[in-house]
């Protein structure tokens, strides 16, 4: 339960005699004066919850679930009944859900909040009702999470946790020593034409009318540009668009007119044998401060690189077999449950996670590129608004992992076109034609893994058992080829 003694009243509201001057480390001041639940035991005035009558017997979480069924008019009307429900009906997550459910077109303008945007009301208005005697973690916690100091978590990284940093890295060194280890390259993308050219304001100047996918919405970049610098969301919308090259009419690769190309140190990308049938694999990423991705593994056992063009990102990673605090995986590894927001995970689990063996952390700055090995858990958050490019790939050293995943977990394979019935068979067929020696080597590696696992099992139980290789852990999916899922 949250508790804060030093919460002053919201500006313009009547003072609460239990409030004193706020200190730098206190919980942020809610714009309506709402306080954490624990403060009701220190208050000298009756709590607003008393006005609910019998409804007050319900937990705040249940009240919020009931309000999720209301339409806009009902929310506005019930918010007029008492201070407690007024505070609940101002909660922006309720209006975000309404917007996403009922608005098929982009808004004419982003007005600073989901409520103002949905109602097409002037932005920047502060609620005029004094809610300083409303005590609720359900209301206060999202606000507190939206205003946490990210530097507290991205600084002071223990030496043993630091992501290794290299100025440059050759392919042979990568293949032999670093393909299964996270690292950051500091001098790799400076020769890309997009480096130093792409930033949020410049992209808005060039592509303001082009629509990009930001999670559940497709907005003109001009609208998303407004959102980036004027939102108070606990989990800000993250622009993660896989069709950006087509929308921006740019070329990617090693052509003379390409705007960027995959770093050479990662070597051949074996999914290239699939040609037009390869799964979704590259994205333009743009987001405001606090946006990012909660813990996941990249799809189909692929590796990835992420290049920062503007801003900086904090990364925290764990090896494939690690049990990440606050992340719960289903028995078949197909589903993952974790806190709803990055901020909530940082508040609750970061200190515990940082102390675990295998934890790797680092800040990737503009001009740098981070390598995410196959199967590694990772969380990433933008420390400031920025632009990045990312691509998933299959290095030779992880071909066996990808083949194993495609073969043994077909229900978790993502990103392929819907008419491809068996991605594993297609991949094996193409590899057999173009790289038969690599395919034979990967099959041999899988057989060795199977025999090793079987032998260990027999040693443990003193009997015989067949055991197939299973890398374990949750793998994050990107959906079918015609579906944009945020990674």
Compute the CA torsion angle 33, 39, 40, 44 (nearest 10 deg): -80
pTM: 0.88
Model pLDDT for residues 435-449, shown as the tens digit of each residue? 999 999 999 999 999
pLDDT at position 28? 75
Rounded CA separation 440/6 (Å): 66
List, in order of start, the domains of the chain with CATH numbers: 37-90+127-145 (no CATH), 151-397 (2.60.120.650)
The pLDDT-based confidence of 463 (bands split at 50, 70, 90) is low
Rounded CA separation 48/326 (Å): 33
Q: Is the pLDDT of residue 117 over 70?
A: yes
Rounded CA separation 362/339 (Å): 22
Rounded CA separation 57/61 (Å): 12
pLDDT at position 487? 42
Q: Is the pLDDT of residue 467 over 50?
A: no
pLDDT at position 106? 86
| 33 neighbors 10 (Cβ within 8 angstroms) | yes
Q: Is the pLDDT of residue 20 over 50?
A: no
* Nearest to 320, CA basis, from 404, 445, 443: 404
Rounded CA separation 291/383 (Å): 8
Model pLDDT for residues 211-223, shown as the tens digit of each residue? 999 999 999 999 9
Q: Look at 411 and 14; give whichever has higher pLDDT.
A: 411
The pLDDT-based confidence of 162 (bands split at 50, 70, 90) is very high
Please list the helix, strand and coil fractions of the chain in percent, rounded to the nearest 5, in that order: 35, 15, 45
H or E segment and range at residue 224: helix 221-228
pLDDT at position 124? 67
DSSP secondary-structure letter at 271? G
**Percent of the chain with pLDDT strictly greater than 90:** 77
Compute the CA torsion angle 213, 214, 218, 220 (nearest 10 deg): -90
């Amino acid at each position: 339960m949250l508790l804060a003694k030093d919460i002053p009243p919201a500006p313009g509201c009547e003072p609460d005699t239990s409030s004193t001057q706020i200190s730098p480390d206190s919980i942020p001041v809610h714009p309506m004066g709402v306080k954490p639940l624990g403060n009701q035991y220190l208050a000298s005035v009756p709590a607003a919850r008393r006005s609910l009558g019998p409804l007050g017997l319900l937990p705040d979480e249940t009240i919020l679930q009931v309000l999720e069924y209301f339409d806009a008019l009902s929310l506005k009307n019930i918010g007029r009944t008492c201070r407690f429900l007024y505070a609940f009906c101002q909660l922006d997550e309720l209006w975000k859900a309404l917007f996403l459910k009922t608005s098929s077109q982009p808004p004419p303008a982003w007005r600073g909040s989901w409520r103002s945007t949905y109602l097409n009301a002037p932005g920047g208005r502060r609620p005029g009702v004094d809610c300083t005697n409303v005590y609720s973690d359900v209301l206060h916690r999202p606000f507190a999470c939206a205003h946490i100091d990210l530097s507290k978590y991205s600084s002071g990284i223990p030496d043993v946790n630091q992501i290794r940093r290299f100025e440059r890295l050759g392919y042979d060194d990568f293949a032999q020593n670093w393909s299964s280890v996270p690292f950051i390259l500091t001098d790799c993308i400076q020769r890309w034409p997009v480096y130093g050219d792409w930033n949020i304001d410049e992209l808005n100047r060039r592509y303001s009318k082009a629509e990009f996918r930001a999670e559940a919405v497709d907005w003109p970049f001009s609208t998303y540009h407004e959102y980036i610098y004027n939102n108070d969301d606990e989990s800000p919308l993250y622009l993660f668009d896989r069709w950006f090259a087509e929308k921006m009419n740019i070329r990617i690769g090693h052509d003379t007119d390409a705007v960027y190309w995959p770093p050479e140190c990662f070597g051949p990308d074996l999914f290239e044998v699939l040609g037009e049938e390869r799964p979704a694999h590259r994205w333009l990423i743009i987001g405001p401060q606090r946006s990012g991705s909660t813990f996941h593994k990249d799809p189909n056992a692929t590796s990835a690189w992420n290049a920062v063009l503007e801003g900086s990102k904090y990364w925290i990673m764990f090896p494939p077999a690690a049990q990440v605090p606050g992340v719960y995986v289903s028995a078949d590894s197909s589903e993952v449950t974790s806190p709803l927001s990055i901020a909530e995970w940082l508040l609750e689990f970061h200190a515990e996670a940082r102390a675990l063996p295998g934890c790797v952390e680092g800040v990737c700055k503009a001009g740098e590129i981070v390598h995410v090995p196959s199967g590694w858990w990772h969380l990433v958050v933008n420390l400031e608004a920025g632009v990045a490019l990312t691509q998933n790939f299959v290095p030779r050293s992880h071909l066996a992992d990808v083949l194993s995943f495609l073969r043994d977990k077909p229900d978790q394979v993502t990103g392929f076109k819907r008419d491809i019935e068996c991605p594993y068979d297609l991949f094996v067929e193409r590899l057999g034609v173009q790289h038969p020696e690599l395919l034979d080597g990967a099959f041999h590696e899988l057989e060795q893994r199977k025999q090793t696992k079987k032998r260990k099992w027999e040693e443990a139980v003193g009997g015989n058992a067949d055991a197939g290789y299973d890398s374990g852990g949750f793998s994050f999916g990107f959906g079918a080829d015609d579906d944009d899922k945020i990674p």
